Structure 1
């Protein structure tokens, strides 16, 4: 989904601005981690200023920012280093989401981290030129072997290290326990009541569902009157895949035996304005459904109609629900049956 030209001057809310109106209770924190390794396979970690423990460089995205831009910015801020080959990991290793990514900071703020991981390489000697900014976020930088890691700050860091450890045959670092996530409860709507129409990150997932004739399922959205894919927004503690499964079932009555993650979509291109004026910066994983079962039963409250469309009979781009859905549908057209 893309912003209307009139949205260009609207400023999104940073995580700290949201905190000012939301308080310390759980928020979805859209974030990126940068996994940098040297020529010996050691990983670059920072000792954090807030808890004194260790983590990969990274942090929350700025409003309208894409993940790779955010990873480069965070790396410079927290280390002073530039990594020429920094790139996003492939899915599913790149994805961060789920109840285990709960984190309570020393100041009491609670977050569920959702987002992506980037990776790159630097020579060990690069650390001689490190120059973190003066924010106090970074107390120390050091290279660590994957089989001799220091105390890590939270499960997001442990899971990142486990992605790297699995590649070299090391067992996973155990995760620390996490609380039961809050009940599902229209998280974004509750934020809206606090902040009004200003742009907010909207993490979520969409699903490509096809029938035996390789026709794509589209739903006419009750709020916009345009065609969209089954999908919707994450709730705190929910994984991208769990969100995709829940939204698929709620909106269509269908279930998928397997959901294949295809691509993450994020950045200013996917800003969307609803007819009532609310603006979202979409952060969306596109899944392809396999082994679909059930009877198509469109959700009364959100879906005006449902239809199966072949590649040559799709609605016009202006009839699709914004740039995100247009790009998702274009990607589907490149896939084989």
Structure 2
């Protein structure tokens, strides 16, 4: 379901919005910003993903809709600069809708003259487009824009932009389940994080999940206001009793390949960051009811693909196998 469809059932209460921001720079390093139709302030082009859409496709679509421009070299920023999540990315729109923005940033270049061909759509989202120097920015719409532009400012040795205060994040509950109770089995975005944990013999920890009966890695869904890394830490502790001194982000997974249907019929569009755990401590204590079995697997001992919990886990394990010996 799109976020606008969810609003009809959820009201103004906070939702987690899987979104992409688009950072376009010209030949002098200036950044392209839009003056927004909702609050009259400035920000990067971008917006929420459509169901089944990956981040790069979403970035291209949002750029075209909000500027009328196509950027041939548009790519996603590498992790961690490309990631956006956390309690500071709360935003309340003028109409009262509340969101926590999570997702990715894309970056590309266009000549300054491209602005002469800009033609935003007729939605009213874009009032004006203009190039700005990174050391001379206009009033910005929200913290997501401030953080994104701070990524670019850091490349020039400029300090990060100060963030506006935000309310405390809600207590951890089960946000996805609460949404399910309203929407039934229809597809929902499920932003979250998974964790690769290995032992001293370079074997990977896998869990057999109680809900699917399939093998998976530790991980789960974000709660409102939670960062991807905080989600990874929480899920690792809840499902295994283990703690990681450091978590290294490896890759973001999203798009139609990572739609998953549970045995009972619920459908999710996974938007998941894969982390590698370093300096893991604690006794391995599987979560009762959630985890049926645990196992340590070498690269040539992994379960068959049909025994894994969907294409997200298949691709997680491919990343792990591809990194063996590095």
Partner of 1:153: 141
Partner of 1:283: 271
Q: Distance in 1 between matches of 2:92 and 2:226?
A: 17
Q: Distance in 1 between matches of 2:273 and 2:319?
A: 13
Select which of 276, 293, 309 maps to 2:297.
309
Q: Distance in 2 between matches of 1:313 and 1:63?
A: 35
Q: Distance in 1 between matches of 2:205 and 2:280?
A: 12
1:49 and 2:33 correspond: no
Partner of 2:187: 199
1:108 and 2:96 correspond: yes
1:174-226 Cα shifts (integer Å, max 9, x gaps): 00001001111100000001100000000000000000000000000001111
Partner of 2:111: 123
1:242 and 2:226 correspond: no
List gaps (5 residues or longer) in structure 1: 1-12
Matches within 5 A, 1:66-77: 66-77=54-65
Select which of 136, 152, 160 maps to 2:124.
136
List gaps (5 residues or longer) in structure 2: none
How far residue 335 of structure 1 moved from its aligned partner, in angstroms, is: 1.0
* Number of residues of Structure 1 aligned to a counterpart in Structure 2: 325
Q: Secondary structure at the match of 1:275?
A: coil
Matches within 5 A, 1:1-337: 13-337=1-325
Q: Distance in 1 between matches of 2:263 and 2:324?
A: 35
Q: CA RMSD in A?
A: 0.5
Q: Secondary structure at the match of 2:19?
A: strand
Q: Distance in 2 between matches of 1:198 and 1:109?
A: 22
Q: Distance in 1 between matches of 2:55 and 2:322?
A: 24
1:242-263 Cα shifts (integer Å, max 9, x gaps): 0000000000000000000000
Q: Distance in 2 between matches of 1:265 and 1:276?
A: 23
4+ runs of 1 displaced by more than 6 Å?
none
How far residue 141 of structure 1 moved from its aligned partner, in angstroms, is: 0.2
1:22-70 Cα shifts (integer Å, max 9, x gaps): 0001000110000000000000000000000000000000010000000
Tell me the TM-score normalised to structure 2 length.
Answer: 0.99
